[in-house]
Homo-oligomer: A and B are copies of this chain.
Amino acid sequence: MRNVAMLGGGMTRFAKYEDRGLKDLSHEAVNEALKAAGIDKSALNIAIVGNAAAGLVTGQECIRAQVILRSMGIDKIPMVNTENACASSSTALQVAWLYVASGMYDVALALGVEKMYTPDKGKAMATFSAGVDLEELRAIMEQLKPPSEQKAGAESGAGKSRSLFMDIYAAGARAHMAKYGTTKEQYAKIASKNHNNGSLNPHAQYRERYTVAEILASPLIAEPLTRLMCAPIGDGAAAAVLASEDVVRRYTSDPVWIRGTALVSGSDTRSTDDDGTGGRAAHEALKMAGMAIDDINVMEVHDASAPAELLLYEDLGLCKPGEGGRLIDEGVTEIGGRVPVNTSGGLLAKGHPVGATGCAQAFEIWLQLKGLAGERQVKGAKTGMTHNGGGMVRGEAAATTVHVFSV
């Protein structure tokens, strides 16, 4: 295997766009990534495109990569469409890495794009629910409702007007509170941190700062989740250009390297209550990188809800089980703390157009390691990590990726 660098990245601002589609969003992200990489599109050898749900939302069920990229004059090169729900483009990134690391190609494009916003709110919600086994869906929805709603029946309005995944996250958050005494305020602190970070990121969907009290006072989605603790629906694209060690010096003298990459799927026979895929993926990726979790200076993790980030502190090994609350209380994961998490604003504030998220996370780490993160720069960051989770089957992630970067 050869070493592979992330030569550049780019993204659109994540937002609800009334007039922008897959092509338009992608073109902006790809052009930004090429520009950041200092490379022309003619230098690309292969493109891997991650998208989760364009078939549902836009009707473009097949060959999304080719439709998008050929419309901007990228043709002839091999293109692979990858999908792993919310981890679609971090999966694309691994596959692109593999085509380069293996020696098959020298320069690869990974692109993630998602169009979720539509006036048809049911359709946008269906996008989230697409990430589960449809045959399990009804049973899961009943099981995961907060106790106060269970009497209302499976078809209650409340159950249908929010994402299934928020019910899943809420159930996990309640279990953690019961087991470890974690508080709703601690979850709110994570949301406040990420919204504050997002206010410093020009690509973030939400750029407002919120206090813990404001997070707690926002409308309840599913106990203990308030609206500001949940990632929004939005559109966007993000791209990364990868290059082999054999060609990278043509383009830059200080590359950001992809040191480790892991993709795992959940288990049907896990022995704990927590989704352990993050820990497994981190273990594998860090092993490949020859690093330990304590070596990581900055991290983007899959905070589709604020409690998810807290649980991930423990799953990824930033602290012991049950100590996630303490970690946020002590400010360890704030910008300026020992290991800032979600400096971009995370999914909560930067937004979460699902197929775009993986590449957007990589872009944030690339910015940090290049020293280009502006007001949210982590001083002296030399190493970074992304964690991205996608879909769910029988209560555990369908696809979880961890990628490790260093200068």
Contacts and interface: CB of A to CB of B under 8 A. Distances in A.
A98 B104 contact: yes
Given A66-B265, A104-B98, A133-B67, A79 B84 contact: yes
A399 B133 contact: no
A273 B13 CA distance: 41
B134 A59 contact: yes
Number of copies: 2
A66 to B, nearest CB: 4
A127 B59 CA distance: 11
A372 interface: no
How many A residues touch the partner, as a band? Answer: 35 or more
20 contacts: A52-B61, A52-B62, A56-B61, A59-B134, A60-B130, A62-B398, A63-B132, A63-B398, A64-B83, A67-B134, A67-B393, A70-B265, A70-B268, A71-B133, A78-B264, A78-B265, A79-B398, A80-B84, A98-B99, A98-B102
Contacts of A101: 102
Given A53-B55, A66-B393, A79-B263, 6 more contacts: A52-B61, A62-B391, A62-B398, A66-B133, A75-B267, A95-B95
A77 B281 CA distance: 11
A269 interface: yes
A266 interface: yes
Interface string A122-136: 000001001111110
By Cβ-Cβ distance, the 4 closest A-B pairs, closest first, are A102-B102, A63-B391, A55-B55, A66-B398
Contacts of A103: 1, 102
Contacts of A71: 133
B70 A393 contact: yes
Interface in A222-252: none
B67 A61 contact: no
Interface in A113-161: 127, 130-135
A218 B31 CA distance: 51
Contacts of A64: 83
A83 B84 contact: no
A63 B133 CA distance: 8
A53 B63 contact: no
Contacts of A70: 265-266, 268, 393-394
A268 B72 CA distance: 10
A91 interface: yes
Interface of A: 1, 52-53, 55-56, 58-64, 66-67, 70-71, 73, 75-85, 91, 95, 98-99, 101-104, 127, 130-135, 262-269, 390-391, 393-394, 398-399
Nearest to A87: B63
Contacts of A53: 55, 61-62
B84 A82 contact: no
Q: Which of A78, A98, A104, A135 counts the most chain B CB atoms within 10 A?
A: A78
Nearest to A103: B1
A159 B393 CA distance: 41
B266 A63 contact: no
A182 to B, nearest CB: 28
